[in-house]
Amino acid sequence: MAKAANDIVMDGALDIIATATRQIACSAQPTTYTEANSTYALADVTLSGGDFTKANGDTSGRKVTIGAKSGVLIDTSGTATHVALVRVSDTTLIEVTTCTSQALVANGSNTVNFPAWDIEIADPA
């Protein structure tokens, strides 16, 4: 018997991801909101609903794409290894992913760019 899930099932999870209000470059993998937003935070940018776009997945299922953000001020020097999505209003750590390791230097004017990236949920196999 084949497995199937309606797109609304996957979109439900993607809708929660799209409630993130901040994207943060982190120096280590955060496991809590505080670690993402403070302990390991190097640079952050505010997100809104318009920064998220749902679509069919690249292979199957569905995905949400987080739009690119450029010229984000670096707050703390360190090496970015992870990106976290958080919802500030209720201090929720929503998603954490790895990124290409990049040294960031805070000097009051240095910036970093967050490229567009996506989170994909595959169809049941």
Give the per-residue pLDDT at 83.
98
Percent pLDDT > 70 in the chain is: 99
The structure's pTM equals: 0.95
- pLDDT recorded at residue 54: 98
- C-alpha 31/C-alpha 39 separation (Å) is 11
Residue ranges for the chain with pLDDT beneath 70: 1
Which residue, among 114, 118, 112, 52, has the nearest Cα to 77 in the 3D structure? 112
